[in-house]
Amino acid sequence: MDWQIPEDTVPSDFITDAQIRSILGKPPATGAWRDGDPVGRRQFAHIGDVTFENGGVVEDARIAYETFGTLNAAGDNAVLVAHALTGDSHLTGPAEPGHPTAGWWGGIVGPGLALDTDRYFVVAPNMLGSCQGTTGPASLDAEGEEWGARFPYTSIRDQVRAQHGVMSHLGLSRWHAIVGGSMGGMQVLEWGIEYPEAAERLAIIAAPPISSADQIALNSVQIEAIRADPLFHHGAYYNAKVGEGPHSGLALARRMALLNYRSPTELNDRFERSWQSGISPLGRGGRFAVESYLDFHGNKFTRRFDANSYITLVEAMNSHDVGRGRGGIIEALRRVTARSLIIGIDSDRLFPVPDQQLIAKHVPGNIDGDEATVISSKFGHDGFLIEFELVAQQLERLLAE
């Protein structure tokens, strides 16, 4: 499908829900990448059968990934980048067939940038359970049916073990560094604990050591928004006609999430109480600009993501507890031996700075002693996706010889 909508816009440039539908038509039942779609820059690693923590099994699991730069003769310049909840393997590069949006870390990955592709071989796998080429709920099982809601409950540890399979597929013995933010930061931390000798350096950005009750509560209402959509059909919607998938529920879940990703200050400063039409705010029929913003991004999201995958990945975030079966959080963090950088964002209300301070205090290889590095940003949790210069400065410190 040949369509692109700007990643962000000012209120006066918003495309309304009706305009999106008139331009693009009705959304498909799922925004997942499916076999037969343009491959784009993806490569695929078949990592064999995967046994999940909860006992579920998926045969012949496949991980989609992209690479940037060249592996050197010694094989010691590989950097793994783990993406956030709704990210994918497309770190940098334009929107093009197979990739509906431009790369999400284009200010960090590339020639001469912090993750310098003239120097490093950067690998970005799409996480297990996602929907952009990696085995997940939208994939076919051995009987040729979509897994849907039958896909095994997936944990962060399951995802990291799958990423380890990509490492084996590439013939790598050690990563020069592993970097990730948000859910990707959870995975980086799990790498450091589960495979302490697998990486020389770790960058854990805007992530906690455990998902709190508050964070799980925020996730639970997003999951229920999807399940409450009458077109969800208990996860069996893949053969639905165009426009008859669980778009409303998925868009609502995305709008809820965006409230956690941005800071109150940024939303207030950006939108105030500006109005999207000439109709009085005291009447009906018009919209506040911030409402239009949320609707715009919710609608766009349904065209590149899958509802079952969203549930699977949010539940994986809920599973996150580095101390589970390891004697508690502190004992687990003490297993990390790599040179480590822990970054927090001062306006992050999803995973606030005390989460990163707890990690920093107990990871022995923290380059800042027992403190986290705190970036000041008005953008909240999304700061690590926006404040390229600030993030780059910190990554360069970690990667310095």
Average pLDDT over residues 35-43: 97
Domain range spanning residue 179? Answer: 11-399
Average pLDDT over residues 165-192: 98
Examine residue 265 and state whether it is found in any structural domain, yes or no.
yes
pTM: 0.93
pLDDT at 3: 32
Residue 355, helix vs strand vs coil: helix
Res. 355: pLDDT tops 70 = yes
Res. 113: pLDDT tops 50 = yes
43, β-bridge pairs = 65
What mean pLDDT value characterizes the chain? Answer: 91
Number of folded domains that form the chain: 1
CA 139 to each of CA 102, 133, 320, 344: distance values in angstroms, whole numbers, following the listed order: 24, 8, 24, 35
CA 75 to each of CA 40, 171, 174, 259: distance values in angstroms, whole numbers, following the listed order: 26, 9, 8, 42
Average pLDDT over residues 118-122: 98
Residue 153, helix vs strand vs coil: coil
Q: What is the CATH number of the domain that holds 214?
A: 3.40.50.1820
Exposed / middle / buried, residue 245 (Cβ in 10 Å: 0-12, 13-18, 19+): buried
**Close Cβ partners of 28 (under 8 Å, ≥ 6 residues apart):** 242, 245, 303
pLDDT at 271: 76
Res. 1: pLDDT tops 60 = no
Res. 13: pLDDT tops 60 = no
Using the structure block, give the residue that is written with the tokens 């809820």.
256
Examine residue 5 and state whether it is found in any structural domain, yes or no.
no
Examine residue 1 and state whether it is found in any structural domain, yes or no.
no
Res. 12: pLDDT tops 50 = no
Examine residue 378 and state whether it is found in any structural domain, yes or no.
yes
Residue type, 100: P
- For the packed helices 247-261 and 307-319, what is the interaxial angle rounded to 10 degrees? 40
Average pLDDT over residues 122-140: 98
pLDDT at 27: 85
pLDDT at 17: 55
pLDDT at 293: 81
Using the structure block, give the residue that is written with the tokens 């039942």.
29
Residues belonging to the active site: 182, 348, 381
The tens digit of pLDDT for each residue in 45-102 reads: 999 999 999 999 999 999 999 999 999 999 999 999 999 999 999 999 999 999 999 9
pLDDT at 92: 97
Examine residue 3 and state whether it is found in any structural domain, yes or no.
no
**Close Cβ partners of 264 (under 8 Å, ≥ 6 residues apart):** 349
Examine residue 6 and state whether it is found in any structural domain, yes or no.
no
Examine residue 297 and state whether it is found in any structural domain, yes or no.
yes
Res. 6: pLDDT tops 60 = no
**Close Cβ partners of 66 (under 8 Å, ≥ 6 residues apart):** 41, 42, 43, 89, 90, 91, 123, 124
Pick 395 or 269 by higher pLDDT: 395
> What is d(CA 59, CA 151) in angstroms, rounded to the nearest whole number?
12
Average pLDDT over residues 13-17: 51
Res. 4: pLDDT tops 50 = no
Of 9-18, 23-32, 158-167, the least confident: 9-18
Say what the alpha-carbon torsion angle 351, 353, 356, 361 is, to the nearest 10 degrees.
-150
Average pLDDT over residues 224-245: 94
Examine residue 253 and state whether it is found in any structural domain, yes or no.
yes
pLDDT at 15: 52
Res. 9: pLDDT tops 80 = no
pLDDT at 18: 60
pLDDT at 263: 85
Of 173-177, 248-252, 258-262, 293-297, the least confident: 293-297
Res. 190: pLDDT tops 70 = yes
The tens digit of pLDDT for each residue in 285-332 reads: 667 778 878 888 888 899 999 999 999 999 999 999 999 999 999 999
